[in-house]
């Protein structure tokens, strides 16, 4: 799984923004982003349609999508996946996730995931917004769950480090961090800007570099402009020294106890 991708949350919600959103994805692929994350929930399928337009005629990046919890029954999961494939013009989704835990029985969802994988419609499967208890339940039900758990994780929301991330590392399950800039809130923090100035990068690049430096963590920042897409990619060139990491820990302390898993 690539360490950095393009997020699409909130894409497809406005026809006026569709051109810019499509352009941002195409530009990201031109720059070499290897992964796109989307979901049937985003724009009620329109984000997936935009993804399909962006990747048409190109070498296919690693594609992640998600099934709504209310569609996650045995038959509903299969039907939802097939709709996502049609919207994106794909034969296979690389990683298919349960968007969050809902009313459908996990056993049914996982049975559907296995069926889809056997049929060649997905390459791997995982979950999203699962806390440690949810992950333990999932592991008891299906030891083949190794794809990913996509959760809210960034410098200002480090709760997963206390108990969830250690469990996932033990089981070799990647954590996919969504909203790694905390919806832009991190960029207003004076401490982050001061440290970024010292490193010679932007606050966004420093925040993303920190996320990607965490073992077993990948991330999918969403941007709808070319400038931000290019800026975020520059995070790959940021080198974190032990001194900078220590300063970030002082400015954004790790959790001292278990926290409820946050969601946006």
Residues annotated as part of the active site: 42
DSSP symbols for 79-93: HHHHHHHHHHT-S-E
Structure tokens at 228: 């931000």
What phi-psi label fits residue 44: left (phi over 0), alpha (psi between -120 and 50 degrees) or beta?
A: left
Cα–Cα distance measured from residue 55 to residue 60, given in angstroms and rounded to the nearest whole number: 6
Quick one: how far is CA 162 from the chain centroid? 20
Cα–Cα distance measured from residue 197 to residue 176, given in angstroms and rounded to the nearest whole number: 27
What phi-psi label fits residue 85: left (phi over 0), alpha (psi between -120 and 50 degrees) or beta?
A: alpha
Cα–Cα distance measured from residue 239 to residue 3, given in angstroms and rounded to the nearest whole number: 15
């Amino acid at each position: 799984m690539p360490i950095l991708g393009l997020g699409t949350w909130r894409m497809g919600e406005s026809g006026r923004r569709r051109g810019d959103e499509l352009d941002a994805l195409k530009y990201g692929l031109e720059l070499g982003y290897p992964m796109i994350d989307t979901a049937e929930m985003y724009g009620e399928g329109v984000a997936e349609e935009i993804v399909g337009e962006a990747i048409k005629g190109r070498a296919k990046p690693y594609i992640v999508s998600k099934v709504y919890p209310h569609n996650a029954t045995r038959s509903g999961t299969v039907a939802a996946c097939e709709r996502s494939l049609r919207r994106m013009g794909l034969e296979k989704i690389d990683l298919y996730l349960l968007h969050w835990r809902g009313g459908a029985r996990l056993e049914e969802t996982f049975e559907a995931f296995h069926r889809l994988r056997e049929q060649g419609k997905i390459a791997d499967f995982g979950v999203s917004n699962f806390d440690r208890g949810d992950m333990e339940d999932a592991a008891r039900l299906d030891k083949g769950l190794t794809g990913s758990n996509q959760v809210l994780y960034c410098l200002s929301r480090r709760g997963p480090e206390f108990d969830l991330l250690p469990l996932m590392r033990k089981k070799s399950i990647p954590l996919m961090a969504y909203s790694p800039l905390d919806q832009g809130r991190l960029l207003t923090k004076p401490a982050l800007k001061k440290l970024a100035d010292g490193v010679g990068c932007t606050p966004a690049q420093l925040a993303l570099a920190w996320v990607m430096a965490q073992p077993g963590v990948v991330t999918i920042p969403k941007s709808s402009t070319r400038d931000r897409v290019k800026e975020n990619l520059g995070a790959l060139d940021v080198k974190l020294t032990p001194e900078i990491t220590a300063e970030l820990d002082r400015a954004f302390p790790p959790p001292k106890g278990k926290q409820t898993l946050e969601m946006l």
